[in-house]
């Protein structure tokens, strides 16, 4: 399986979708984007996922993030599936496009296949991969889940907030961080720089080692 690692430029794939033909770079434009794969149409976990992420469209729009689904069936099948998706998650409206990838070519290029899951003719099926791509078209974060485990879109939104904060300010977010909570000053910033970069101030946490490497601030 070809590697696609953090920081790599995502390939400019193109395919038919429920919104017509899409070239990935044109679709992303200057936005952030989330591209997420599904093993197949008319499967139960995928049906819940497409509807659940649709419930977050407004939140992603506020953050300038475009959504793009990807499933290994044809566009006609995707279109026929959408009424089930919307019925399964009442109130959701799937307004983002879903790419068709019947030969799994795009999924192979985007490192979204699960080598352990094959269809009846031996073709590898997609995993539940989800790539967050920055406006520079580089891979900022990836989830790689097996078909058995549906994704948590609260977590997807949370990591978008973390990525966008880190891109705007020079900060990191601690474990289980939520928007509004304190952030960490990265080790690459020394105390002198920190005084200039974070005029709001920062707290150095006292540790048994006596080392002063956890510094918290608010942005
Ligand atoms: C599902 O969407 O339910 C599913 C798809 C592929 C493998 C396992 C579950």
Which CATH number covers residue 101? Answer: 3.40.30.10
Rounded to the nearest angstrom, the distance between the alpha carbon of 73 and the centre of ligand 1 is 14
Give this prediction's pTM. 0.94
Rounded to the nearest angstrom, the distance between the alpha carbon of 17 and the centre of ligand 1 is 21
The residue whose CA is least distant from atom 8 of ligand 1 is 147
Q: Residue 37: which pLDDT band, with cuts at 50, 70 and 90? A: very high
Q: What is the pLDDT of residues 149-168, one digit of tens each?
A: 999 999 999 999 999 999 99
pLDDT at residue 212, as a whole number: 96
Q: Which domain holds residue 198?
A: 170-219
**Does 147 share its domain with 176?**
no
**Does 149 share its domain with 117?**
yes
pLDDT at residue 55, as a whole number: 97
User: Domains in the chain: how many in total?
Assistant: 2
Q: Locate the ligand 1 atom nearest the alpha carbon of residue 44 and give its number.
A: 3
Does residue 164 lie within any of the structural domains?
Answer: no
User: Which residues touch 26 (CB under 8 Å, ≥6 apart)?
Assistant: none
pLDDT at residue 116, as a whole number: 82
pLDDT at residue 1, as a whole number: 44
Q: Locate the ligand 1 atom nearest the alpha carbon of residue 46 and give its number.
A: 2
Q: What is the pLDDT of residues 58-107, one digit of tens each?
A: 999 999 999 999 999 999 999 999 999 999 999 999 999 999 999 999 99
Find the angle CA(52)-CA(58)-CA(62) to the nearest 5 degrees: 135
User: Which residues touch 119 (CB under 8 Å, ≥6 apart)?
Assistant: 40, 125
Rounded to the nearest angstrom, the distance between the alpha carbon of 43 and the centre of ligand 1 is 6
The residue whose CA is least distant from atom 1 of ligand 1 is 45
Mean pLDDT in the chain?
A: 96
Count CB-CB contacts under 10 A for residue 117. 15
User: Is residue 88 annotated as a catalytic residue, yes or no?
Assistant: no
The SS3 of residue 184 is: strand
The residue whose CA is least distant from atom 7 of ligand 1 is 147
Ligand 1 neighbours (beta carbon < 6 A): 39-40, 43-46, 147-148
Q: Residue 214: which pLDDT band, with cuts at 50, 70 and 90? A: very high
């Amino acid at each position: 399986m070809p590697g696609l690692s953090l920081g790599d430029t995502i390939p400019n794939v193109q395919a038919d979708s429920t919104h017509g033909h899409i070239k990935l770079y044109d679709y992303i434009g200057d936005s952030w984007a989330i591209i997420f794969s599904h093993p197949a149409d008319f499967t139960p976990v995928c049906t819940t996922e497409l509807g659940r992420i649709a419930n977050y469209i407004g939140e992603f729009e506020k953050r300038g993030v475009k959504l793009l689904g990807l499933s290994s069936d044809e566009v006609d099948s995707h279109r026929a599936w959408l009424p089930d998706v919307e019925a399964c998650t009442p109130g959701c409206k799937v307004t983002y496009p879903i790419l068709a990838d019947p030969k799994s070519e795009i999924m192979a290029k985007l490192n979204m296949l699960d080598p352990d899951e094959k269809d009846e003719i031996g073709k590898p099926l997609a995993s539940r991969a989800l790539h967050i791509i920055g406006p520079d078209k580089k891979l900022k974060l990836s989830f790689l889940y097996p078909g058995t485990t549906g994704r948590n879109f609260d977590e997807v939104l949370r990591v978008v907030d973390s990525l966008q904060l880190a891109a705007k300010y020079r900060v990191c977010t601690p474990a289980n961080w939520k928007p509004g909570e304190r952030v960490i000053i990265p080790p690459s910033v020394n105390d002198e720089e920190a005084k200039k970069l974070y005029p709001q101030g920062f707290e150095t946490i006292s540790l048994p080692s006596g080392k002063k490497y956890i510094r918290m601030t608010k942005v």
